[in-house]
Amino acid sequence: MIKLNLRLDFQNPIGTATKMLYGGLVEHLGRCVYGGVYDPADPQADEEGFRKDVMATMRELKIAVARYPGGCFTDLWCWEDGVGPHRKARLDPAWKQLEPNTFGLHEFVHWCRKCEIEPMVTLNLSLRDALDAARLVEYCNFPGGTELSEQRKANGDSNPFGIKYFCLGNELYAPWEFGQCPPETYAVRARECAKVIKAISPDAKCLLCGCGYDNDWNRKVLEICYDHVDALSLHFGFGSNDPDEAFYHTLYVHEKTLRECADIIEAIRQSRKSERRVGIAIDEWIIWNGDDKAKGSLPYTVGMHLLEEDYSIREVLLCGAFLSRFLHGHCDCVDLACVAQLVNVIAPVRTAPGGVLWRQGNFYPMAYAARYGCGKSLRLSDLPQDLQASAILAENGELAVFVTNLHKEPCNMNLELGGGVAKGLLEAVTLHCEDEKAFNTPERSPLCPQKLTEAALTAKGDSVMATLPAHSWSCIRLNTQLAL
Ligand code: AHR
């Protein structure tokens, strides 16, 4: 039995975890859009062809921001093909699919509105340039009186979309991208793009393409772009085919890169004596086997089954550990995060035709974090190896403690609040599964949180004692007198 004595420091929080940490990617890949988000033929489709069950699940997951349309898909994306009455079918060589463009910018923005999600658009800086990006921003955000803004109105949206977040390209450092280029080449293009975006849409936030495994790239692009961007985007992947040890160990590898990157940002800020804060946006965190063969193959078709991975308990635990350690643990520098992806493609939500939808196990740590994980992220006493935890104190005084026990033994947790602050237990749930290979299907949900039984939980005054199962993710919520 592992012992965990959790002491919380209410005085000196790490930072504030905001709802923007709980976003997701909607890429034109496989059945994320066609057959997931959008499926006019499905009985669940609304008048615009959006699946109502998917929208309800996005609201349940409290997704705050959605990144669109990619991902690698962006490399050949021409946004003009997906607006207006005449949509243009194109090849998508990035994922070897046929792209009908029946879902485009208008549909994405409407879908976001219905789901109460902030839209974020990735600009094609791979095979297009700053001028094309400027045209897109004008089309979306300019009120009227220009050809493009009038065209948007004619296409059904008299009000501007008001898109605030723009990603300046996707993974341009990577050999798998069309448009890969050296950092200096990319950075000059990105800087000019950010300048023109802000000239058209002054409130826009620009996310510079950083690299999750190469801080040299990050230093070089930041030195050129620092004065014009709002965040550096980093993508962090976890190999779902890796053996357990390597799979979980990746967290520490990425964490080292993240902290070094935060130091680089600070050093550049100081060297320029700049007042400007550049944050970090983890706008893709990915649990994927990374298999290139997962791509479609000839003949190119629409809505293929690509990257539809079934997640077992270890992906649930990785997800819980990531949310605690990365997002809550580094919210001093991480401003925004998106799971890649939201529906069907390496995703917490899956669908099948005929209104069938199910939640994968990793849905639950994400849903609890989004619902109860906004507020001050408190520092915790030293955690034993293989335990990841975080504690978030919300404005209304509710405290949520998230614990991921990666150990193959149960954990005896003693949570001491001290100082007579506890007002009562609100909820205590845990998710574990003895069958390491089990995953959720439309028929069965072995990966679903359960209430901690009375035998496993004692809450008295300012202390909570709980026995958390081996290989489990848990959330304990308390009321406190600490309204901020
Ligand atoms: O999410 C799948 C792919 O992973 C995205 O298209 C790409 O940006 C990342 O490498």
Which residue, by CA, sits nearest to atom 6 of ligand 1?
Answer: 71
User: Which of 233, 234, 284 gets mutated to test ligand 1 (max ligand atoms within 8 A of its CB)?
Assistant: 284
**3 state SS for 40-61:** CCCCCECCCCEEHHHHHHHHHC
> Does 72 contact ligand 1 (Cβ within 6 A)?
yes
Name the amino acid, one letter, at 430.
T
Which residue, by CA, sits nearest to atom 4 of ligand 1?
Answer: 71
pLDDT more than 90, % of the chain: 89
Ligand 1 centroid–CA 72 distance in Å is 6
What's the CA gap between 317 and 362, in Å, rounded? Answer: 8
Ligand 1 centroid–CA 352 distance in Å is 22
Q: Where are the alpha helices (DSSP H) in 116-214?
A: 130-141, 147-154, 183-200
Q: Is the pLDDT of residue 384 over 90?
A: no
> Does 312 contact ligand 1 (Cβ within 6 A)?
no
Ligand 1 centroid–CA 480 distance in Å is 41
Count CA atoms closer than 13 A to 164's CA, side-chain side: 9
Q: Is 93 helix (H, G, I), strand (E, B) or coil?
A: coil
> Does 335 contact ligand 1 (Cβ within 6 A)?
no
* Averaged pLDDT for residues 371-376: 98
Tens-digit pLDDT profile for residues 265-302: 999 999 999 999 999 999 999 999 887 666 777 678 89
Is residue 40 reached through a cis peptide bond, with omega within 30 degrees of 0 on the bond before it?
Answer: no
Pairing mode of beta strands 398-405, 457-460: unpaired
Strand blocks (E) in 193-317: 205-209, 231-239, 279-288
Distance from CA of residue 466 to its chain's centroid? Answer: 30
Count CA atoms closer than 13 A to 125's CA, side-chain side: 29
For 295-352, give the DSSP string: S--SSP-SS---S-PPP-HHHHHHHHHIIIIIIITTTTTEEEEEEE-SBSSS-SEEEE
Tally of residues, the chain: 484
Which residue, by CA, sits nearest to atom 5 of ligand 1?
Answer: 71
Which residue, by CA, sits nearest to atom 1 of ligand 1?
Answer: 340
> Does 344 contact ligand 1 (Cβ within 6 A)?
no
Q: Is 171 a catalytic residue?
A: yes
Do 382 and 442 contact (CB within 8 A), yes or no? no
Catalytic, out of 27, 177, 284, 309:
284
Distance spanning both ends of the chain, measured CA to CA? 36
Do 311 and 317 contact (CB within 8 A), yes or no? no
Kindly state the tokens that stand for 293.
Answer: 């063969």
pLDDT of residue 385: 79
Q: How many CB atoms lie within 10 A of CB 467?
A: 16
pLDDT of residue 476: 96
**Any residues with CB less than 8 A from the CB of 266 and at least 6 apart, and which?**
none
pLDDT of residue 483: 65
Tens-digit pLDDT profile for residues 179-210: 999 999 999 999 999 999 999 999 999 999 99
Which residue, by CA, sits nearest to atom 9 of ligand 1?
Answer: 71
* Averaged pLDDT for residues 323-342: 97
Kindly state the tokens that stand for 415.
Answer: 């949570």
Catalytic, out of 99, 107, 138, 171:
171
Q: Is 269 helix (H, G, I), strand (E, B) or coil?
A: helix
pTM: 0.96
* Averaged pLDDT for residues 1-27: 94
> Does 30 contact ligand 1 (Cβ within 6 A)?
no
Q: Is the pLDDT of residue 101 over 70?
A: yes
Q: How many CB atoms lie within 10 A of CB 61?
A: 23
Q: Is the pLDDT of residue 368 over 90?
A: yes
Q: How many CB atoms lie within 10 A of CB 416?
A: 16
* Averaged pLDDT for residues 52-59: 98
* Averaged pLDDT for residues 328-332: 97
**Nearest to residue 328, comparing CAs of 358, 366, 362?**
366
pLDDT more than 70, % of the chain: 99
Tens-digit pLDDT profile for residues 435-468: 999 999 999 999 999 999 888 899 888 889 999 9
pLDDT of residue 331: 98
> Does 27 contact ligand 1 (Cβ within 6 A)?
yes
What's the CA gap between 387 and 377, in Å, rounded? Answer: 17
Mean of pLDDT over the chain: 95
Ligand 1 centroid–CA 24 distance in Å is 12
**Nearest to residue 386, comparing CAs of 256, 252, 253?**
252
Kindly state the tokens that stand for 300.
Answer: 């190119």
Ligand 1 centroid–CA 285 distance in Å is 9
Which residue, by CA, sits nearest to atom 7 of ligand 1?
Answer: 71
pLDDT of residue 484: 56
Q: Is 199 helix (H, G, I), strand (E, B) or coil?
A: helix
> Does 286 contact ligand 1 (Cβ within 6 A)?
yes
Q: Is the pLDDT of residue 421 over 60?
A: yes
Ligand 1 centroid–CA 343 distance in Å is 14
User: Which of 68, 92, 171, 295 gets mutated to test ligand 1 (max ligand atoms within 8 A of its CB)?
Assistant: 171
Instruction: Estimate the share of the chain in helix, then strand, then coil, as percent rounded to the nearest 5.
Output: 30, 30, 40
User: Which of 26, 31, 68, 72 gets mutated to test ligand 1 (max ligand atoms within 8 A of its CB)?
Assistant: 72
Ligand 1 centroid–CA 250 distance in Å is 17
> Does 71 contact ligand 1 (Cβ within 6 A)?
yes
